Structure 1
């Protein structure tokens, strides 16, 4: 049994988990065996109906592979840029540290 956290206003599933999620205002939880964690990243999923026990009785899925792949690619570009920025900052920090030691008459 999986727990689907969905937006109450339109039924959009925002997360799927193996444990009962924390429910915030404007959201509800339904249960289903049709989905697995991670499906919410591959598909846009809507809960259209639930029974009296909170089980999903009707849902819709739309594959969103193109959008997700584009977002993954953008995150990889950003991640690589951040790694480069960190290396530049570490180099600058080492230079400043060396200058401080030299001003104090120390050695590196």
Structure 2
């Protein structure tokens, strides 16, 4: 896998993973929750925890791809802060779809 493809793969994976908690009512899209059929479904705090875990998983995949391509680079806290907020920005479409969309009917 070349570097360009792996970069685009990580971006696509991040976009999917950031929106996944908002697009379903299951925990990590796998585990059904008790009482999630009730009005409101999965609580927001649980969705935010899922977003954080997805960020860590995408980061692990990105680190694995970087290490397979060559040397890995040491990163400071600034890198992780910027990528976390970028991940939150990628989650915005799912948040809008879940909470801000006007439901008709």
Structure with higher Rg: it is 1
Structure number having the greater helix percentage? 2
Which of 1 and 2 has higher RCO (CA within 8 Å, sep 6+)?
2
Q: Normalization by structure 1: what TM-score?
A: 0.30
